[in-house]
């Protein structure tokens, strides 16, 4: 069984053979070019993202952005990734439509055996972040985790187990604290009510530029 097959099946592997180092080197060359691009080089970064991911994407990623391969990451439509995120993508990372990823978020798909003599070996489990999730600043998501649609992960959380849809979860380890309710459509924070008129005013101003 080749290493890529072992990785895909979650089996133990080593990554210094079978063209894997060459793939990482190419990916990191593109990563450096992306991260060193000037703020106004929007079109250059779009082209680099296509090369990094190996496909067209509408994702907006703020540099710097760190990854291992790039080709193991998939983004849905209109995803936003803030600065200084680390995606350890030896395994698959899937991020759904309109998800928002805060600054300094780390997504880790790789684990190691606990026994010291075996620790050089690795295995992967995929990470899935479903549509409309908001992942707060400095969150760490560990291998095998799925975060359900619409959920919010509070800043600084360490997500060790999957989170259901439509909840707010936080902490280390991350746990659900409440569901997202109709009340959240009326207030954006304590005592601050949302009105249709205010939202329309903001949208109109934004369209005018």
Percentage helix, strand, coil for the chain under 3-state DSSP, each rounded to 5: 25, 25, 45
| Residue 86 annotated in active site | no
Contacts of 37 (CB under 8 A, 6+ apart): 44, 45, 48, 63
Whether 170 contacts 158, CB under 8 Å: no
Interatomic CA distance for residues 102 and 163, integer angstroms: 17
Catalytic residue, chosen from 112, 119, 120, 161, is 112
Longest CA pairwise span in the chain (Å): 63
Catalytic positions, written as ranges: 112
């Amino acid at each position: 069984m080749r290493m890529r097959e072992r990785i895909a099946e979650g089996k133990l592997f080593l990554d210094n053979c079978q063209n894997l180092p060459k793939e990482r080197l190419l990916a990191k060359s593109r990563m450096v070019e992306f991260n060193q691009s000037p703020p106004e080089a929007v079109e250059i970064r779009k082209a680099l993202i296509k090369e990094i991911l190996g496909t067209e994407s509408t994702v907006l990623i703020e540099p710097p952005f760190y990854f291992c391969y790039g080709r193991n990451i998939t983004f849905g439509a209109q995803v936003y990734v803030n600065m200084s995120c680390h995606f350890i993508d030896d395994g698959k990372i899937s991020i759904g439509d309109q998800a928002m990823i805060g600054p300094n978020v780390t997504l880790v798909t790789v684990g190691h055996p606990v026994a010291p003599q075996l620790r050089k070996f690795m295995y992967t489990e995929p990470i899935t972040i479903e549509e409309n999730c908001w992942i707060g600043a400095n969150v760490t998501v560990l291998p095998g985790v799925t975060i359900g649609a619409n959920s919010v992960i509070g800043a600084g959380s360490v997500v060790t187990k999957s989170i259901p849809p439509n909840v707010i979860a936080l902490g280390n380890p991350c746990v659900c604290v409440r569901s997202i309710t109709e009340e959240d459509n009326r207030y954006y924070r304590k005592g601050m009510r949302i009105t249709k008129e205010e939202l329309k005013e903001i949208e109109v101003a934004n369209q005018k530029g």
